[in-house]
Structure 1
Amino acid sequence: LYALSALFAWITSTSSTLPAHRAWGEFAVWGYGAAALLVFVFFRKRLWLTILAWIGTALVPLVILAQRGLYQEEVFVVEESARRFLETGTPYLDRAAIAALPEPLLAYTPYQPGMAIFGLPRALIGDYWWTDARVYFALATAAALFGAARLLWPHRHLVRAIQFATVLPLCALTLATGGDDLPVLALCLLAFAFAARERFGWAGVAIGLAAAMKLFAWPVALVLGIYAVSRRYTVAAIGVPLAAMVPVLAINANSFVENVIRFPTGQGLVTSPAASPLVGYLIAQHLPNGRLIALALLLAVGFGLAAYLAKNQPRDARAVAIICAIGLLAAILLMPSTRFGYLLYPVAFAFWAPCLRNVEPR
């Protein structure tokens, strides 16, 4: 894993067209290379090696990139949404306000209202490397993963699962350059761990926090709810995102719809930069009415999974994670606007699934 990741980092450093990605590769290649050598020395200390590898391949590059001012556009978007929230009570601009700006793309905030919290340090304190939103993405990710690991420890598959949520280039690169998906992913994994221990109220809180940040967590919340069948879970899983959404909707519902629904589905003033050449994107670009065809296929998969769940309720948290991995993989492949980076969700879910089986309640 570490040797292949080092190769990926080197290729990224030499061939990527994105400055932040190239800079990540230049530093991460050394972290992966060191980990590939140390794995033979610290074979019995795999967890500590994983932690050190994460520091070397994600956290150190993150700090360096923050100091240099290199980032993907989502970092700027989150930080600007926090400034707007402090000024107006909502992180969103409406369609007219977006149209009046010279760069309307960066004025869109395609996240749930809770994501703006990560931009508050910069909005309140000022421009320092330690107020960069990625620093707080990393802290939230580390806290949620620590909680999930503690709930499931000891488990023979857990270290490998942690690796696929931290040091896998899909995750390390994303955290260092953008980062907004990692706390959402980590909170989903924490919700799975709570569900495996049958602590459904806390599972609802964890997935509710994730759903208050990004729509990707909503289908996970639904599948977990089918498994949990718990009032405590339902209240938390629905209540937390609603608490974030209701004030924003009360202030300006149209701006919420414009940013969170119209823009990601291609109905905004500009198209989404999420344009990785996966199946849905290729269909949307190259077939007549391709966007409608891709959305129809996406809905068909959704109805198929719903029909399966109606007849086959998940029997444990492992089944929940597997169903979520399959469903999100299909969705990512078929969405008209998508990114390769989103694959970190189904990959991490699949590798955490074995850790969620035969776990005693506590």
Structure 2
Amino acid sequence: MRVAAVPRAVRGCRDRLERSAGGLATDAALYGCSTLFAVGIGVVSALPPHRIWGLTAAPGYLIATVVVLAQLAARRRGRAPRLTGRPGRAGLTLFAVAATTGLPLLWQSSRRAAGLPGHAQEEVRVVEHAGQRLLETGTPYLSRAEIAALPVADQLSGYMPYQPGMALFGLPRALAGTAWWSDARVAFAVVTAVLLASAVLLLRRAGTPTGPLIRAVQAVAVLPAGALALATGGDDLPVVALCLLALALTAHRRHGAAGLAVGLAAALKLIAWPVVLVLAIHAATQGRRAMTRLAAGGLGLPIMVLLPAQFVDAAALAENVLRFPLGHGLVGSPAASPLPGHLIATYLPGGRIIGALLLLAAGAAIAGWLVRRPATDAARAALVCGYGLLAASLLMPATRFGYLLYPIAFLMWVPVLRRHRPAAAGVPQVVLVR
């Protein structure tokens, strides 16, 4: 079989699964596997927030699984088309979001506000403390000397390894004090819901079928990769939602708005910068004007957000955003999931060098792919982002399973974006290398 035929074969298999029982068969598999995953996390996880999520989310997944099986049975008997068709699937998806993401989030944020420990991951406190510092000093970062002055047990939480924009999610608690609704995760969830709904409505109004949109929402807000992250930590979800909104806007050639969306994502986390690069290359295939509009927001916004922190304390900015993620902080990063990059760096002689070379090789392969086949539409841009971030997540020496949310979301949104390839009248298809 030719190599080029492999992706077509995978897409064909996926399309057959999606057509099976109108998507209900895949729904049953997803909800069933998610039930098992949640039960497993609730029983064996060493992290209290994860265990609590598993125990509170498992009943929701189980109910969704039972309902889907009932829908399948009704469909075979030719009954209740509204309940077994897309309206029924969409309603069940919304229930699953509420039961497996919303309920665990509200439970943990309320218990934490009541003073009970073990109901939030460390990044929640990090973001909230950053918001407090932003109000008091004008920068969300502590200097190396200030971190060294903290008790040893608190030095890790003294680092804020995100872009300055992330501190905005800590402002509710800094301004209003301790309450369930001032928890940074609530702000993450509200912003994510608004952005995700905006992307879905944008695509739906342009004629995207409901079925692929249901699957796209499940990828971000229902499957454990997103639901667990949002209920226990949540800082990755607004970044993912902003990137998906940028891709939806790109599908409709709204490059200026797409630049603002992806620029905001890059102002929150460095992991969004590769998405900025891919969308910039895509915009370049559409002409200079599109490139200029995309770059104004995609590059201008994160740079503008960095400037105040740079002026207040440039050394503190470098300590948190560069030195700590690269392993040169006062304490090591806790990101150490047993993915290939971490295993190579830990157990092989010269593992860090080998891992760096593999990461560079993966980056070069992605760059070569973009040169030979530029991302001339939003679906291809999402595909490149998905595979690129998958390679990075697997090969980075300091990594965690949560990073896999990014490639999962991008790759599962490709079928939705593929439905929208606006005719490029007067715009030639660009091939940089033949």
State how 1:1-362 maps to structure 2 within 5 Å. 1-39=30-68, 40-41=70-71, 42-44=83-85, 45-69=88-112, 70-102=119-151, 103-153=154-204, 154-155=208-209, 156-229=211-284, 230=290, 231-359=292-420, 361=422
How far apart are residue 237 of structure 1 and its match? 0.7
> TM-score scaled by structure 1?
0.97
Structure ranking higher on relative contact order (CA contacts 8 Å, 6+ apart): 1
CA contact (8 A) 1:59 1:176 kept: yes
Alignment root-mean-square deviation, CA:
1.3
Q: Which runs of 5+ in 2 are unaligned?
A: 1-29, 72-82, 113-118, 285-289, 424-434
With 288-297 and 229-238 compared, the bigger mean Cα shift is at 288-297
Equivalent-residue separation in structure 1 for 2:419 and 2:170 (angstroms)? 39
Return the letter of the residue paired with 1:104. Answer: Q
* Secondary structure of the structure 2 residue equivalent to 1:111: coil
How far apart are residue 361 of structure 1 and its match? 4.9
Return the letter of the residue paired with 2:251. Answer: A
How far apart are residue 304 of structure 1 and its match? 2.4
Equivalent-residue separation in structure 1 for 2:396 and 2:261 (angstroms)? 26
Return the letter of the residue paired with 2:101. Answer: A
Quote the residue 2:11 is aligned against. none
Q: What percent identity do the matched residue pairs reach?
A: 54
Deviation beyond 4 Å, 4+ runs, structure 1: none
Q: Deviations over 1:87-113 (max 9, x none)?
A: 111101111111111121110101000
* Secondary structure of the structure 1 residue equivalent to 2:299: helix
Equivalent-residue separation in structure 2 for 1:130 and 1:158 (angstroms)? 29
How far apart are residue 291 of structure 1 and its match? 1.8
Equivalent-residue separation in structure 1 for 2:246 and 2:37 (angstroms)? 31
* Secondary structure of the structure 1 residue equivalent to 2:311: helix
Equivalent-residue separation in structure 2 for 1:312 and 1:109 (angstroms)? 37
Equivalent-residue separation in structure 2 for 1:299 and 1:246 (angstroms)? 29
How far apart are residue 335 of structure 1 and its match? 0.4
* Secondary structure of the structure 1 residue equivalent to 2:174: helix
CA contact (8 A) 1:151 1:197 kept: no
CA contact (8 A) 1:161 1:351 kept: yes
> TM-score scaled by structure 2?
0.82
Equivalent-residue separation in structure 1 for 2:89 and 2:242 (angstroms)? 23
Q: Which runs of 5+ in 1 are unaligned?
A: none
- Higher-Rg member (1/2): 2
* Secondary structure of the structure 1 residue equivalent to 2:139: coil
CA contact (8 A) 2:375 2:381 kept: yes
Equivalent-residue separation in structure 1 for 2:164 and 2:89 (angstroms)? 38
Equivalent-residue separation in structure 1 for 2:240 and 2:127 (angstroms)? 17
Q: Deviations over 1:117-163 (max 9, x none)?
A: 11000001100111000001000110111011011113231111110
* Secondary structure of the structure 1 residue equivalent to 2:411: helix
Q: Deviations over 1:49-82 (max 9, x none)?
A: 1111001001111010011111000000000011
How far apart are residue 315 of structure 1 and its match? 1.8
With 45-54 and 318-327 compared, the bigger mean Cα shift is at 45-54
